[in-house]
Amino acid sequence: KDLVDFALNALGLGQVIDTIQALGADYWNQIKQIATQLLFAGQNIWEQAKLVFQQLVSDLQNHATDALPLVVQAIGQLTSLVGQSGKRDLVDFALNALGLGQVIDTIQALGADYWNQIKQIATQLLFAGQNIWEQAKLVFQQLVSDLQNHATDALPLVVQAIGQLTSLVGQSGKRDLVDFALNALGLGQVIDTIQALGADYWNQIKQIATQLLFAGQNIWEQAKLVFQQLVSDLQNHATDALPLVVQAIGQLTSLVGQSGKRDLVDFALNALGLGQVIDTIQALGADYWNQIKQIATQLLFAGQNIWEQAKLVFQQLVSDLQNHATDALPLVVQAIGQLTSLVGQSGKRDLVDFALNALGLGQVIDTIQALGADYWNQIKQIATQLLFAGQNIWEQAKLVFQQLVSDLQNHATDALPLVVQAIGQLTSLVGQSGKRDLVDFALNALGLGQVIDTIQALGADYWNQIKQIATQLLFAGQNIWEQAKLVFQQLVSDLQNHATDALPLVVQAIGQLTSLVGQSGKRDLVDFALNALGWVKLLTPSKLWELTTGTKLNKLPLNCCSLVKTSGNKPNLSSNNWSPICKTTPLMLCH
């Protein structure tokens, strides 16, 4: 929201804000002030401060009950660093730029109230535009001159100056980063026109404008062109403001998305130029939107030729939707048909295909598949695991696969012992990496490595739920992922400090995480695979259960589904109403 938040996030404090705030406003305000000051303290001081903050975060996560001395110690170190920089914050920057340095003592002697008003006005002026700034400088110059010549009459002089400056700041109507961004982008002339369209559009414009401040020079320059065009269009066609603003928001959202891409889906959609028509497609319903997202992600692994053909299809779709939005449904259906055909030509649908292709196995797939599903599944599993095993293991595995390909091409009739030998070598390599698959990748990324033994000790049921949730979160979007990380961080901290009370802590976390995963609308790799193969609509719930869990289910316990619905997807795992089968019933079987 502002420079304070930007500084705190940049310094990695997001994970321990609650811990520090719990110590009281005084310590929290000192941390915020120091964080903001560091933005202007130079690269050298900033890097040193980051190390202090990293240590503080680590210490607070491991010793939250000892937070006070840790925070006090860090404040001492950081205050010393900020003092070295000679720059304290935006207030000092503004006061110096306005030439007040020579009379600070005189104004402070009048009391905190007057001094605080001067500081506030000085900071506001930084975002008030060049015209207001120049007028304010004249007022401050006169104040400095008067105070130097008539220090004993300081009070009426300062009061008079505050009155003049407050009037100037009021004219500017700009007090923060949002206003600064809007002004820098040239929107000042059409603010009233956009605001008249309603708070929703105005808030989107403000959010985009602020995001652009941190999006890099290239994105900023492109956005300025979009805003210039919007200003021109609104001045010439104010009565048609709504479609002009909506069009600009679409273009700008796409630009902002390029600057900070959250996942493969966002990356694919932005790279294919869909940012401008997302709302139009989403309005057709989740089914069409999900198909578009799935196709866009698949295209990332379909090869350059297919990608270029798909871009042409998407460009045509964007153009058609912009010109014929009311006919969106047949246009999207037609595009999905063309794109599905293209993806089918590519023969690549998911991470497994990507891994196999990257490892050079394409030439011998038929030979391995002919040995039976067991060997083929082992090869696919190993190939996917290697994606997360690190560069060193990957390179060693490539050599094994290259040898296997060469051997199979020269001795296809002896394929079985060759494949068995390769599987043995690769299994050993994957074991060395300490990462076996997406589950391990997710667990590590969420910071659970330190408490795995504690959770496993509670039994397979709880451990399997945690693994399933962790994997689902990989596909749940950045927002859900970040919220889940906070839950896991709290769980890790609680388990480290209260390992003997692990069960209620884990049950509580599972409830919170299940709710988060439910919000995301994305469940897991099983769903991804089933959707990619088009099987979901063809399977009975009991067959889907069998594929998901590996166990047969003769009849779906419908009472479990009613419990799921009435409990708001948060089952009370300690309730006698919940049988073991209900505790692990996938929610998708209840929809």
Query: Greater confidence, 472 or 434?
Result: 472
Q: Which residues contact 494 (CB under 8 A, 6 or more apart)?
A: 501, 505
Taking the model in full, what pTM does it have? 0.26
The pair of three-digit structure tokens given for residue 125, joined into one six-digit string: 């002026």
Question: What is the Cα Rg of the chain in Å?
Answer: 30
The helix, strand and coil proportions of the chain, stated in percent and rounded to the nearest 5, come to 80, 0, 20
**Better-scored residue on pLDDT, 353 or 546:** 353
For residue 4, being part of any structural domain is answered with: yes
Each residue's pLDDT tens digit, 167-219: 887 765 434 456 667 777 888 788 888 988 887 788 788 878 866 765 666 78
Query: 241, 257, 273 — which closes off a domain?
Result: 257
Q: What confidence category does residue 387 fall into, taking pLDDT thresholds of 50, 70 and 90?
A: low
Domain span at residue 103 reads 92-172
Q: How confident is the model at residue 507 (pLDDT cuts 50, 70, 90)?
A: confident
**pLDDT category, 401, cuts 50, 70, 90?**
very high
In a domain, 475, yes or no: yes
- Of the candidate ranges 147-156, 249-258, 419-428, the one whose mean pLDDT is the lowest: 249-258
| The pLDDT value given to residue 559 | 45
pLDDT of residue 436: 43
pLDDT category, 450, cuts 50, 70, 90? confident
pLDDT at 421 over 60: yes
Longest dimension (CA), the chain: 104
- In this structure, is residue 535 part of a structural domain? no
Confidence check: pLDDT of 348 > 60: no
| 556 falls within a domain | no
Q: Poorest-confidence range of 77-81, 91-95, 264-268, 509-513?
A: 264-268
Alpha helices by DSSP H, 446-575: 452-456, 460-473, 478-497, 502-520, 525-533, 541-549, 558-566
Residue 492 shares a structural domain with residue 517: yes
Question: End-to-end alpha-carbon separation of the chain, Å?
Answer: 38
Q: Tell me whether residue 311 is exposed, middle or buried, using C-beta atoms within 10 angstroms of its C-beta: 0 to 12, 13 to 18, 19 or more.
A: middle
pLDDT exceeds cutoff 50 at 240: yes
Whether residue 415 is contained in a domain is answered as yes
Give the model confidence (pLDDT) of 306-327 as tens digits: 878 888 999 999 999 988 877 7
Question: In whole angstroms, how far apart are CA 210 and each of 178, 206, 567?
Answer: 5, 6, 40
From 14, 88, 4, select the one nearest 53 (Cα to Cα): 14
Residues 81 and 124 in one domain: no
Same domain assignment for residues 514 and 447: yes
3-state DSSP of 279-318: HHHHCCCHHHHHHHHHHHHHHCCCCHHHHHHHHHHHHHHH
Do 308 and 336 lie in one domain? The reply is: yes
For 134-169, b where at least 16 C-beta lie within 10 A, e where not — what string? ebbeebbeebbebbeeeeeebeebbeebbebbeebb
Same domain for 185 and 151, yes or no, is: no
Proportion of the chain above pLDDT 70, given as a percent:
73
Residue 446 has what pLDDT?
A: 81
Same domain, 449 and 517: yes
Tell me, yes or no, whether 298 lies in a domain: yes
Which DSSP symbol is given to 7?
H
| Any domain includes 289 | yes
* Domain identity same for 62 and 13: yes
- Say yes or no: 354 and 336 in one domain: no
Angle, CA 227 vertex, CA 223 and CA 230 arms, to 5° = 140
Task: Examine the domain organization and report whether 77 and 136 are in the same domain.
Answer: no
Q: Is the pLDDT of residue 291 over 60?
A: yes
| Residue 572 placed within a domain | no
How many domains is the chain built from? Answer: 6
Q: How confident is the model at residue 139 (pLDDT cuts 50, 70, 90)?
A: very high
Band of pLDDT at residue 38, cut at 50, 70 and 90: confident
Q: Is the pLDDT reported for residue 475 higher than 80?
A: no
Same domain, 144 and 116: yes
Q: Is the pLDDT of residue 259 over 80?
A: no
Domain boundary residue, one of 526, 547, 575: 526
* Domain endpoint, select from 526, 555, 578: 526
- Is residue 547 within 8 Å of residue 494, measured between CB atoms? no
Considering the domain architecture, whether residues 208 and 279 belong to the same structural domain is answered as no
And the tokens for 474? 């990989």
The percentage of the chain sitting over the pLDDT mark of 90, rounded to a whole number, equals 10
* Same-domain status, 97 and 163: yes
